[in-house]
């Protein structure tokens, strides 16, 4: 490798971005070349600044970090994605890795370990928070299908079935079937509880 590893930071909280950038710039072999606050800005910035590794938050405006990882893999396959998030949910981990992310760590990871994680993914290795990996394996895969996830996302706010049906362009009867199936799969007693369980596990 010639020159430092070029790092892009994507997080909607400016203070978090600034703190991460300051810590990573203390490492001689890392260079923070760009900072963005929305997911839909990542690919263009990564291309413009020739980033090697993109640190992605999961919950961002414009596009979430998991969707960004998919886009990066498709458009800039040489750029590695490392999820750095507050939301250490097993379902998020599994979805992030399926989306092509090379690593997944939580934000309270010590700076030296985060720097090591960046070096590892840049070298082609995979880095996963060990506690989260254990929890993810114990929890098993996401039990919900794509349509069930779509419907449950709309159930989080407790909207009536008719309203949800209009939003997802399905008949109320079809929505009820998806909701009923999802409730059974996650072991809930109603649709709002099912949505909250799924959200808490990172399945949505």
Domain CATH number, residue 29: 3.40.50.2300
122, 139, 156 — which closes off a domain?
A: 139
Residue with more model confidence, 3 or 24: 24
186 shares its domain with 113: no
112 shares its domain with 151: no
Q: Which tens digits make up the pLDDT trace of 39-55?
A: 999 999 999 999 999 99
58, 96 contact by CB (below 8 A): yes
Q: What's 171's domain CATH number?
A: 1.10.10.10
Residue 202 confidence (pLDDT) above 80: no
123, 139, 155 — which closes off a domain?
A: 139
84, 107 contact by CB (below 8 A): yes
155 shares its domain with 190: yes
Domain holding 92, by residue range, is: 5-139
Looking at residue 102, the DSSP 8-state letter turns out to be: S
Backbone angles phi, psi at 157, to 5 degrees: -90, 0
Q: Which tens digits make up the pLDDT trace of 14-35?
A: 998 999 999 999 999 999 999 9
150 shares its domain with 135: no
91 shares its domain with 179: no
155 shares its domain with 120: no
Cα dist. 43→38, 105, 132 in Å?
11, 21, 27
174 shares its domain with 101: no
Q: Which tens digits make up the pLDDT trace of 62-120?
A: 999 999 999 999 999 999 999 988 866 767 787 888 888 999 898 888 888 999 999 99
CA angle 79, 120, 89 (to 5 degrees): 85
129 shares its domain with 161: no
Cα dist. 180→10, 40, 183 in Å?
37, 34, 5
135 shares its domain with 150: no
10 shares its domain with 65: yes
104, 139, 174 — which closes off a domain?
A: 139
49 shares its domain with 105: yes
- Count how many domains the chain has: 2
pLDDT at 3: 85
32 shares its domain with 119: yes
């Amino acid at each position: 490798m010639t020159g430092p590893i070029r790092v892009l930071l994507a997080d909607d909280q400016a203070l978090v971005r600034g703190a991460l950038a300051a810590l990573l710039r203390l490492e001689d072999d890392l260079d923070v070349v760009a900072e963005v606050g929305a997911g839909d800005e990542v690919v263009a910035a990564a291309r413009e600044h020739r980033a090697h590794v993109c640190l992605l938050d999961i919950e961002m405006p414009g596009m979430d970090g998991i969707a960004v990882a998919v886009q990066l893999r498709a458009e800039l396959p040489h750029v590695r994605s490392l999820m750095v998030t507050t939301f250490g949910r097993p379902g998020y981990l599994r979805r992030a890795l399926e989306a092509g992310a090379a690593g997944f760590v939580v934000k309270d990871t010590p700076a030296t370990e985060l720097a090591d994680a960046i070096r590892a993914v840049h070298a082609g290795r995979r880095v996963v928070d060990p506690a989260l990996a254990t929890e993810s394996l114990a929890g098993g895969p996401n039990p919900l299908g794509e349509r069930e996830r779509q419907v449950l996302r709309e159930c989080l706010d407790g909207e009536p079935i008719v309203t949800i049906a209009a939003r997802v362009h399905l008949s109320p009867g079809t929505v009820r079937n998806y909701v009923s199936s999802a409730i059974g799969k996650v072991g809930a007693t109603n649709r709002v509880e099912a949505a909250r369980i799924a959200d808490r596990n990172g399945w949505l």
